[in-house]
Structure 1
């Protein structure tokens, strides 16, 4: 009988308790300061630590993707733990080359019966929830084909809106692919951004607000439209980048306004925080993964 391992990269910012509950393996993404390379969740645990390091070093960080050997090491660990198949779930190929590397390893690795790579087309818990679905299905002895089919169904329902305090980080790291004209030259605004999960998985500006309170109002509109069209239960994640208090406030507000939605909290980790900057906020919503098992 097949035993399927689920392996993620750390950009999903999945809480350790959830990873442990579903026996999910993790490859840690690199964060770079000049010639120094740090690993997310090992050397830099949370976005707040990264912000402090940048202040102390008076230097902005950059990122890279995990090396092929990192994926191989995770696969070897899974194999030693008794797994004979695996699925590698990565952040969006529109944001990073991680998926392409993972896919190459999946095709070349000969230590298991079968290994596949899956492009989440998103990041943070948008990718994490796909890993949770895969792991929950693996626990129930579903096949890789069945897991991929359910992942396709889940990903087809995912949408996201997020807001950053400073768009310059996304511009500096080359992650803003569209919507420049919408926000160009405007000072003291909060850009509203999306990831085109159903296309290339790239980040683009789709709106703007003067304050974070206005940003939440802007985010509620596409969420409301999605809920009106959905014929399935919805689960959503309120994501904060080093702003727990505001994240909790958004959660309470959204739970009150949309009582049929299962809201959970999540964070923007240090790796993604290099690109979003400090204080970003977001909401990710999709079909409830438990409805797809």
Structure 2
């Protein structure tokens, strides 16, 4: 048995990192009007947000279509032919915001070169990316598919993500969030709606704040409720091309929770189409290194 890990750029992985970790990384497609781009190939996050601002007056709405099943099949066939891979674990975006994992589960039987194992990360960006990192590290340790999926399940239970957005209109357009499921949903639209991923991977409106500072406080309150002595917690400040605000959030978060390891990452275009320009977020959960053999951590 030889196992490969496959995911896409909505996991927040760059091509260089994926190459270093021996993760097969597919570029998520982004549509602007009739033109299709691909993350990190011909559309960097900075380019995406610049283009988003330039086209806002033209009401050109970007979308993120699913990666085609033929693209997955080509990648799997290549892994089988060139690297003698027998099993491919595919780390997907949350099924609550993308139909990809369900489509792949239905299509997987058509891929005969390898055994495909679809895995719903029930998250996006860091939450999804850390699952790919964990899986790749476990492959390097020589673990089998069953062990890898079991460890992923343990890690996934600890992961949480929330976002403060200027508007939920992008999510309403795609049907990815239902405002009637959130508390006092009508007045939220005038401020900064707070969106959180449920354990199922669906997004719900969890509250709202007048300013980003208040939204950060709400997210840190959620983080506080999850802190435990059982394992180390890692957290990431996520931002839609807002470096100054990201640094402000990072300092405030570290001041409140100095025992938590915080870092910063961009909201990539494939999720940016859902939360829009100006979004900020926080992802937190178990440090995935805790689920590796101590002597092999890196």
TM over 0.5: yes
SS of residue paired to 2:178: strand
Structure 2 CA distance for aligned equivalents of residues 163 and 42 of structure 1 = 28
CA contact (8 A) 1:134 1:151 kept: yes
- Partner in structure 1 of residue 20 of structure 2: 21
User: What SS is found at the alignment partner of 1:169?
Assistant: helix
3-state SS in 2 of match to 1:66: coil
Deviation at 1:105, TM superposition (A): 3.9
> Match for residue 289 of structure 2?
290
Describe how 1:141-220 pairs up with structure 2 within 5 A: 141-178=142-179, 179-180=181-182, 182-186=184-188, 188-196=190-198, 198-199=199-200, 201-220=201-220
SS of equivalent residue, structure 2 residue 158: coil
| Alignment size in residue pairs | 288
Cα distance in 2 for residues equivalent to 1:160 and 1:186: 19
Residue segments in structure 1 that go unaligned for 5+ positions in a row: none
Q: Determine whether 1:60 maps to 2:61.
A: yes
Q: TM-score, normalised by structure 2?
A: 0.90
Instruction: Tell me if structure 1 keeps the 8 A contact 2:167–2:189.
Output: no
Relative to structure 1, the CA distance from residue 230 to residue 53 in structure 2 (aligned partners, 3 Å threshold; closer, same or farther) is farther
In the alignment, the residues of structure 1 paired with residue 275 and residue 242 of structure 2 have an alpha-carbon distance, to the nearest angstrom, of: 13
Gaps of 5+ in 2: 293-298
Shift of 1:50: 4.1
Paired residue secondary structure (2:171): helix
Offset of residue 158 of structure 1: 0.8
Aligned 8 A contact 2:168 2:189 in 1 = no
Name the CA distance, whole Å, in 1 between partners of 2:194 and 2:175: 17
Measured in 1, the distance between the counterparts of 2:25 and 2:122 equals 18
Supply the distance in 1 between the matched residues of 2:14 and 2:38 (Cα, whole angstroms).
Answer: 16
Quote the residue 2:296 is aligned against: none
Name the CA distance, whole Å, in 1 between partners of 2:229 and 2:186.
34
Alignment check: 8 A CA contact 2:163 2:196 kept = yes
CA distance in 2, matches of 1:171, 1:91: 19
Once residues 51 and 140 of structure 2 are traced to their aligned partners in structure 1, the CA distance between those partners, rounded to angstroms, is 35
RMSD: 1.9
Contact 1:3/1:141 (8 A) holds in 2: no
Provide the rounded CA distance (Å) in 2 between the counterparts of 1:20 and 1:264: 21
Match of 1:86 in 2: 88
Question: Could you tell me the TM-score, scaled by structure 1's length?
Answer: 0.91
